[in-house]
Chain A
């Protein structure tokens, strides 16, 4: 399954749902991304959810809410959750929010 809508592209490979998030993530864009990911979680019931944030050019605390919200949903459903492609800038925000204590993420720029 491939799905693309503005700031998010979704792919399902085996039991893994990967969401490639790109562009500017603020309160305005987070809503569409959140709805797309949640809809795919319901439709495909994957065993793992990966958020790839390597193509994000801007993120504020709305992006933190987006990540934390998906983490909570995945945890409640018993789905493994990770974030990949975290830039130094995004990592600064994540660390500020204490995400490093609850979410598995790397800060290596991932090449697609």
Chain B
């Protein structure tokens, strides 16, 4: 059966570090209608936080730009989240996604942002162009057990 998009939202906000919490709150509010489990909600909040932090720390390092966050929910209870920036972009995506890789040693980054996103979501896709920006797409399939009737 073809899945249907049932709900969607889009938000834009500056890449200020305090907006990492805003992005998590937006994701939570959107997801609450879908009755996620506590674990599913925590997983998505953590993945979103990582993606938005990457915009603040890496994409717009030393500057402030716009972060665009979109969320869509589908009839098969999958959720698709896109976090997009128009920052510096990533030269080598596969290297950037390696565990412990970071370009910000001074900021005590653990280099595990993409590892967390991969672990807490069912699918992640990263597209990027140097000097153009990056788009991170996170897919999470919510448990059907808790679907509202």
Contact = CB atoms under 8 A, between A and B. Distances in A.
Interface stretch (A9-17, A40-48, A60-68, A100-108): A60-68
Nearest to A92: B119
Contacts of B115: 61, 96
Interface of A is mostly: helix
A93 B43 CA distance: 11
A61 B113 contact: yes
A27 B116 contact: no
A64 B110 contact: yes
Given A60-B49, A61-B116, A26 B108 contact: no
In this complex, the interface size class of chain A, counting residues with CB under 8 Å from chain B, is 20 to 34
A65 B18 contact: no
Interface string A74-112: 000000000000000100010011000000000000000
Contact of B24 (A58, A65, A96): A58
Interface stretch (B50-58, B63-71, B77-85): B50-58
A60 B53 CA distance: 10
Nearest to B23: A26
Given A61-B50, A97-B110, A89 B57 contact: no
Task: Count chain A CB atoms within 10 A of each CB in B56, B107, B110 and give the residue with the most.
Answer: B110
Interface string A10-54: 000000000000001011101100100000000000000000000
A20 B45 CA distance: 23
